[in-house]
Amino acid sequence: MSIVENNRTIPHLSPHLIKTDSVQQSAPSGIIPTRAVFSSNELQVLTQDIKRWGRELGFQDVGITDIDLSDHEAHLKNWLDQGLHGDMEWMAAHGNKRSRPAELVPGTLRIISLRMDYLPADTRQIQILQDKSKAYISRYALGRDYHKLIRKRITQLGKRIEQEIGAYGYRAFVDSAPVLERAVAMRAGLGWIGKNTMLLNHKAGSFFFLGELFTDLPLPVDKPQDKVHCGSCTACLDKCPTDAFLGPHKLDARKCISYLTIENSGPIQEELRPLIGNRVFGCDDCQLVCPWNKFAKFSGETDFLPRHKLDSSELADLFLWTEEEFLDRTAGSPIRRTGFEGWLRNLAVGLGNASSSPKVISALKQRLDSPSELISEHVRWALNQHNAL
């Protein structure tokens, strides 16, 4: 899972918007105003329906929260102020909108948070990580890009609600806007934020995507999951290959392999390259080691099944894909995010860390004269690891 995406202070209902027993919403600007008046009982029934519809649409959990993210606003600001987000300027670009949902979508009163398991069955994570000739791709990225599927399902939920109650304000999000997804999910009772900064669910570990439906409906909220069930465990902090955790809940993105192989468009620091091993797109180590992931569930979504044997391919074979093959085989895949150049850079690092073999050296030499200095420099580094330059 990438560090940035996904499994990822403001007033409660204002008295002038709410009557004690029946609720009429004022006309918020920016989203469609709710017209109907609902009794508390009707809102309770609607909430149960929303949760059922969400599960029918393939989400494993649905929770509802208000929009008070003040506790997380300070944490985010502190993290950004320390520059721990690296070059991800977009993380800081939206001011307080990330922690103040009603500034992002005016009129928002509630957020419906939804969780969908993504782990494909039989992906043999550990074996691939230990096989230095193979490419390890973060498990969330083996199939089709999740954004489209999840946004479509959440929008369907929004429309299903509309069928039931008429026009109201809603907007679906999946990483597409500055939303503190993990904080929202925690407040909606879907799990707690573990020391590895992922959202953990006691029935499902952390291999799931999150999405949100912002709404102006004053639905009853769920109890936040405010207890962290990590206890004295520090497995994720200890296991991180690049030692990217400064402490519990504090990740230095600049050292995180997910950042280095996906968000970072420049060279990878030399001292970090040997630590990356064969992880060529993202990293799952802090999840794989987490004891809660023994409860992770396999996904039944065909979109999340591995494509083009990306769960078992050799580094050298992937490295020799042409750009056309890359574009063809990663169409509709999260891997597109890194671009062909970034893909080859990452594979060169993986090949530099692989066991020496004629196949590995031959593949590297075929890209030694790449017109991209980014690629050729990483290839030279890799060949040097094999004393083959």
* Strands 250-251 and 170-173, sheet pairing: unpaired
- Check residue 296 for interaction with ligand SF4 (CB under 6 A): no
Binding-residue pattern over the window 253 to 292 for ligand SF4, x denoting contact by CB under 6 A: ------------------------------------xxxx
**Nearer to ligand SF4 (CB atom), residue 15 or residue 231:** 231
Q: How far is the CB of 289 from ligand SF4 (least distance, A)?
A: 6
SS3 184: helix
**Nearer to ligand SF4 (CB atom), residue 102 or residue 289:** 289
Distance CA 189, CA 240 (A): 27
State which of positions 31-60 bind ligand SF4 (CB under 6 A).
Answer: none
**C-beta separation of 385 from 353 below 8 A:** yes
- Check residue 230 for interaction with ligand SF4 (CB under 6 A): yes
Q: How far is the CB of 234 from ligand SF4 (least distance, A)?
A: 6
With CA atoms as reference, report the closest residue to 132 among 385, 388, 373.
Answer: 385
**Nearer to ligand SF4 (CB atom), residue 200 or residue 335:** 200
Stretch that binds ligand SF4, among 64-72, 100-108, 116-124, 193-201 (CB under 6 A): 193-201
Tokens of 173: 């999000």
With CA atoms as reference, report the closest residue to 253 among 104, 76, 105, 55.
Answer: 76
Stretch that binds ligand SF4, among 125-133, 146-154, 189-197, 249-257 (CB under 6 A): 189-197
**Nearer to ligand SF4 (CB atom), residue 184 or residue 251:** 251
**Nearer to ligand SF4 (CB atom), residue 10 or residue 235:** 235
**Nearer to ligand SF4 (CB atom), residue 151 or residue 249:** 249
Q: How far is the CB of 198 from ligand SF4 (least distance, A)?
A: 7
* Strands 110-117 and 208-215, sheet pairing: antiparallel
Buried b (16+ CB within 10 A) or exposed e, 307-321: beebbebbbbebbbb
Q: How far is the CB of 328 from ligand SF4 (least distance, A)?
A: 37
Q: How far is the CB of 284 from ligand SF4 (least distance, A)?
A: 12
DSSP annotation of 143 reads S
Stretch that binds ligand SF4, among 64-72, 195-203, 354-362, 371-379 (CB under 6 A): 195-203
Please measure the distance between the N-terminal and C-terminal CA atoms of the chain and give it in whole angstroms.
34
Which residue's CB atom is positioned nearest to ligand SF4? 194
Alpha helix stretches (DSSP H) within the chain: 40-56, 70-81, 101-104, 125-130, 146-165, 181-187, 235-239, 257-258, 273-276, 285-288, 315-319, 323-329, 339-353, 358-365, 373-385
For ligand SF4, the binding residue among 47, 113, 196, 313 (CB under 6 A) is: 196
What DSSP string describes 293-346?
A: GGG--B---GGGS--TTTTS-BHHHHHT--HHHHHHHTTTSGGGGGHHHHHHHH
Binding-residue pattern over the window 232 to 251 for ligand SF4, x denoting contact by CB under 6 A: -xxxx---------------
- Using CB under 6 A as the binding criterion, the count of chain residues that bind ligand SF4 stands at 13
Contact partners, residue 165, CB within 8 Å, separation at least 6: 36, 38, 46, 217
- Check residue 305 for interaction with ligand SF4 (CB under 6 A): no
Distance CA 14, CA 56 (A): 32
Q: How far is the CB of 225 from ligand SF4 (least distance, A)?
A: 13
Q: Which residues are catalytic?
A: 175
Q: How far is the CB of 79 from ligand SF4 (least distance, A)?
A: 17
- Contact residues for ligand SF4 (CB under 6 A)? 194-196, 200, 230, 233-236, 289-292
